[in-house]
A and B are shown apart, each in its own frame.
Chain A
Amino acid sequence: MKRSYFSTIVLALVLAFLYVPIILVVFYGFVPNGTTMSFYNSNGEFIGFTGKWYSMIFSGDRRVDALIESFWLSLTIAGLATVVSCVLGTTAALALHKWKGKLQSLHHALVYTPLIMPDILIGISLLMLFVACCVDCGFWTILIAHITFCVSYVVMTILARLQDFDDRIVEASYDLGAGPWYTFFHVQLPILMPGIVAGGLLAFTLSIDDIVITTFVNGAGTNTFPTYVSSMTKHSKNLPAVFALSTLMLLFTCVLMGLSKLIARGGRTKTKGKI
């Protein structure tokens, strides 16, 4: 039987399409001229690559201060939003899994609706809330907004994990004399951990990358990495520094993923050895 290679060709083209801008990001981290974003000088001669944007980042140059600062702010907000949304998400998922009443169907609707709404609607509605309450926008409003849109994703991830959860384990724990708190911390939580970690990673990624909601609630002067980059694209001469920083982040994530794969594989061979 003849198999068609059409779909494989499309897949290869799509992968190339997805990677074109990424390759560009890596290349433009080495561009010598930050104003024209070109590897050529005005006479059309090639002037080569430069590492000055990387040294700018590592030496703490004044010109990229605000960029680095916004990057740390993004990390802080993403970290805090992840922790809070994991706590809220875990309790919500447990409640949704265990009880099936009127309260829970309302709860479910409340958790599910933010997922189907475009980001901008969450942003604008939170802005309206802050306007109506006369709150000044800043760090705290960004954090509240990020937690709000992360919670639903965490709940959905943990709920998916809870579907394979054997509820008899909890009953067994109660029968053996454990209290609800002890059961939660020593039985349920360890089993749910992979789900919580997956949900937390998703929340972190969403929070650190969010620009739409943040632009509505950040107020003047508080910039996360995405909003700062977006304001830089309009006039800055130091844009290649953004590309250099993005390349570093990409590299860091790749190393982290590779390490986690290696550790997972190591763990598996170890248990295999034991059996």
Chain B
Amino acid sequence: MVTKTEESQVNRLENQVDNGGGGAWEYLCLVRKLKVRRSDKVLKHGLSILNDPKKRSTLGPDEWTLYEQVAVAAMDCHTLDVAKDCIKVLQKKFPESKRVGRLEAMLLEAKGSWAEAEKAYSSLLEENPLDQVIHKRMVAMARAQGNISGAIEWLNKYLEIFMADHDAWRELAEIYASLQMYKQAAFCYEELILSQPTVSLYHLSYADVLYTLGGLENIQTAKKYYSSTVELTGGKNIRALFGICLCSAAIAQLAKGRSKEEKESPELHSLAALALEKDYKQRAPGKLPLLITTLKSLKIS
């Protein structure tokens, strides 16, 4: 996770470098350390160092790290010629390296020659079955080819070992949700909530999935997660507010015939509606009538 101070530091350095204030190498180091994705900048400033023999030689052995970083950034920006040059230099320096092998496989992938890239990745994976990056490349490649079931298979294989990697869980959750496999997606979102219980986005997505699944119990649960989102965001999340209204409407309809359960928070939906109205009044007064009719059609009481 990138903290706020780190992010502002990156931005400040980026600004400084962009305006010709120097410090390009520090910027690149920071980007590498925080693993943020600023490929265009990395490509630009990294190349300016690499193309200047004097600057390059002051780096010492870090020069090769920079070549790697620029190569990856170049592939991300689809300037494959640059990437190819960088990899060639590295290949010359470290002929047997697996790390360079990985870059070569990535270049194949960037070119779109899937079969060859997959072959290269598989052979690398055979030598080192615990390489997380290659596992993730495999998933990404399967997704890029539209082979969703393949991506799921790879992700499951990856999560079998690296089961604490929440980014992978998130990817899997999104894939399942896109395939309308909501039960599986709900499981993944639960896993995400467990690993980072204060991230409101996971609560929101989990609630969305539960609401989509339907059924009285699920919708009641969904409403609870929408409320936790409201609590975590301080009521700023419009989607969560709408969610509460929709859930309340659905619950009222589903529970109509049955004995009325004691409601825990009878005011919640009306409060959510009021909050929505207030927000619309402030930010989009033109759409207020639309909102009011929508809410009216949902009106539960």
**A and B assemble together:** no
| Chain A interface residues toward B at CB < 8 A | none
| Chain B interface residues toward A at CB < 8 A | none
